[in-house]
């Protein structure tokens, strides 16, 4: 009994020290995703394979991650403009393309490549999330299909179904929020991750695209339908040099360097 009480006190002390460290060094504008296991991937229970559920998302399996921080919102035009001004990094093409209106600072950033995203996060003292980290931040530990639950509501997020057909500022859609309080993970812009496109453990799918060729984008977009793009499990492989008007950035950061 005394031994059990000793370990309980020790656990509480360790947890208290952890929280003190986190609170003392909590990055502004970021959310803490706690360590632990969660469900990654999808199965036939989540919908029709090849339509609702991509065959590269199978099987559902539990994995464990260390705690990490992730940006509460997608990077904005104004935030990226500061990066461009200070580093002389190339501007997104749509900033000067006459076919697009000049984006205001408060609008969510788009039209960036993986290399742009990686450079921006490094400049901020952060990094890109892995696709596993992104998925946990989007769906929580209970394996939900959308950040808010298992049923889709078009009024909650900026996908093709919203009818806007354009990028909007972060948190325009208040319903698009994950269990951890992370916004716009189902819609608005897709977000680059640091992960290469590889099959999941237990997946026998053979694709020439697998390997260190394509980086993974996660999340839905204003230009595509909710199914399958806005689902928390959807994987979108793209060459890291490609930039499109619906590719954006959300950074992550280690809790302990």
Cα 33–Cα 171–Cα 74 angle in degrees, nearest 5: 55
Q: Which token pair is 61?
A: 């399996």
Q: With bands split at pLDDT 50, 70 and 90, how would you rate the model's confidence at 26?
A: confident
Percent of the chain with pLDDT over 90: 84
pLDDT tens for 210-221 read 999 999 999 999
pLDDT tens for 114-155 read 999 999 999 999 999 999 999 999 999 999 999 999 999 999
Identify whether the C-beta of residue 27 lies closer than 8 Å to the C-beta of residue 253: yes
Question: How deeply is 80 buried, as exposed, middle or buried, from its count of CB atoms within 10 A (0-12, 13-18, 19+)?
Answer: buried
Q: Is the pLDDT of residue 15 over 80?
A: no
Percent of the chain with pLDDT over 70: 90
Q: Which residue in 106, 129, 132, 112 sits closest to 200, CA to CA?
A: 132
Look over the chain and give the mean of its residue pLDDT values, rounded to a whole number. Answer: 91
pLDDT tens for 47-63 read 999 889 999 999 999 99
Q: Is the pLDDT of residue 198 over 80?
A: yes
Task: Please give the model's pTM, rounded to 2 decimal places.
Answer: 0.89
Q: Is the pLDDT of residue 187 over 70?
A: yes
Q: Is the pLDDT of residue 7 over 60?
A: no
Q: Is the pLDDT of residue 12 over 50?
A: no
């Amino acid at each position: 009994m005394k031994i059990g009480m000793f370990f309980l006190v020790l656990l509480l002390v360790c947890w208290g020290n952890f929280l003190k460290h986190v609170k003392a060094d909590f990055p502004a504008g970021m959310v803490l995703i706690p360590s632990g296991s969660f469900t990654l991937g999808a199965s036939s229970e989540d919908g029709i394979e090849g339509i609702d559920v991509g065959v590269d998302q199978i099987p559902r399996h539990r994995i464990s991650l260390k705690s990490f921080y992730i940006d509460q919102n997608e990077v904005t035009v104004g935030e990226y403009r500061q990066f461009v001004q200070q580093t002389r990094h190339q501007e997104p093409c749509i900033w000067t393309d006459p076919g697009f209106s000049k984006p205001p600072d408060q609008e969510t950033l788009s039209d960036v490549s993986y290399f742009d995203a990686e450079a921006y996060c490094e400049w901020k003292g952060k990094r890109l999330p892995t696709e596993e980290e992104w998925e946990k931040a989007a769906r929580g530990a209970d394996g939900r299909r959308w950040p808010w639950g298992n049923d889709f509501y078009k009024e909650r997020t900026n996908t093709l179904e919203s009818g806007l057909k354009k990028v909007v500022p972060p948190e325009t859609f208040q319903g698009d929020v994950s269990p951890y309080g992370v916004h716009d993970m189902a819609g608005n812009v897709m977000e680059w991750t640091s992960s290469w496109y590889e099959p999941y453990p237990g997946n026998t799918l053979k694709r020439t695209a697998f390997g260190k060729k394509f980086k993974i984008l996660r999340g839905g977009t204003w230009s595509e339908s909710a199914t399958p793009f806005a689902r928390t499990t959807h994987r979108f492989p793209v060459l890291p040099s490609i930039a499109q008007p619906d590719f954006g950035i959300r950074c992550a950061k280690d809790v302990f360097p």
